[in-house]
Amino acid sequence: MTELVNRSTAPPAAAPGRAGRWAAVRHAAPLLTFLVVLGGWQAVAVIASPRWLPDLRLIGEGLVGQLASGEFFAAAAATGRSLALGLGVTIVLAGAMAAVLALSDVVDEALSTVLGSLMAVPSVALVPIFIFIWGLSDVTMIASVVSFAVLPLTLQWATALREVPAHLVEMSRSFEASGVQLARTIHAPSVAPLLLTGLRIAVVQAIKGVVSAEVIIATLGVGRLLTIQSSTFNIAGVWAVIILIIALSIASYVVLTWLESRASRHADD
């Protein structure tokens, strides 16, 4: 009798076909949104013809021209070099500051609020100062990347380091686990997802930093392409470069999101 009651009151299971269709729609949602945006863009460009929103066909021609000439790849290589150097310095600085914040409650109380408040400062305003100090050099580019990315990465990593389960650490120590074993079995799985989340945010901020500095300096990298296109009032060309930047940002974002999801599944296991 109890089994009959339980069966009669249990919620109906979702049909496999319906669940599969819902999963397909959910995975296709970003692509559908992108297509809707493109359709709206083209409709506005054709019907209203605003000067700031060119026809997608013109932007497509600009994209093909940038890629076929190799100019974008050469600019992207210069930008990528500055970005990699800046991210390397950012990771080292953020890791050191996050460790200090996570290991000392006094330092955390003293600095976390200050660091959070500094994030309100527009980092692009610091680029002219860096140019004044270091001139049109690699140091200026690296400093620009660091100024955009180091604070969000530091605060995110400090939060991650404080998320290590204390009871698991104590239990492992009671079984005389070594420091390497603790790092491999407790610390790394616990903090890896949040560390990758912080890195994902930092990469996007770093791209903004390096392109902003290149636009101001206007002598190298992808920022130089933007400056050239805008100075000749080639709005379609400007949008073409912007779209290429967005594509590279999305690629890095997707890769880091995938790594983050794998780290989360490993931590749950």
In this structure, the answer to whether residues 71 and 40 fall within a common structural domain is no
In a domain, 171, yes or no: yes
In this structure, the answer to whether residues 39 and 70 fall within a common structural domain is no
Integer Cα distance of 178 and 245 in angstroms:
45
Q: Which residues of 20-32 are buried (b: 16+ CB within 10 A; e: fewer)?
A: eeeeeeeeeeeee
Instruction: Give me the percent of the chain exceeding a pLDDT of 70.
Output: 74
In this structure, the answer to whether residues 29 and 148 fall within a common structural domain is no
Q: What is the pLDDT of residues 72-124, one digit of tens each?
A: 888 888 888 888 999 999 999 988 888 888 777 777 777 777 777 777 778 88
In this structure, the answer to whether residues 195 and 144 fall within a common structural domain is yes
- Tokens for 254, please give them: 């997707």
In a domain, 34, yes or no: yes
Domain count, the chain: 2
Q: What is the mean pLDDT of residues 240-252?
A: 82
In this structure, the answer to whether residues 135 and 16 fall within a common structural domain is no
Question: Distances from the Cα of 257 to the Cαs of 189, 248, 260, in angstroms?
Answer: 16, 14, 5
Q: What is the pLDDT of residues 125-163, one digit of tens each?
A: 888 888 888 887 888 888 989 989 888 888 888 887 777
Please give the mean pLDDT across all residues of the chain: 76
Containing domain of residue 109, as a range? Answer: 54-268
In a domain, 142, yes or no: yes
- Tokens for 265, please give them: 């599944």
- Cβ proximity of 30 and 210 under 8 Å: no
Question: Distances from the Cα of 19 to the Cαs of 2, 6, 28, 29, in angstroms?
Answer: 29, 24, 14, 15
In this structure, the answer to whether residues 172 and 230 fall within a common structural domain is yes
- The enclosing domain of 156 has a CATH number of 1.10.3720.10
221: left (phi over 0), alpha (psi -120 to 50) or beta: left
Predicted TM-score (pTM) of this structure: 0.72
In this structure, the answer to whether residues 39 and 155 fall within a common structural domain is no
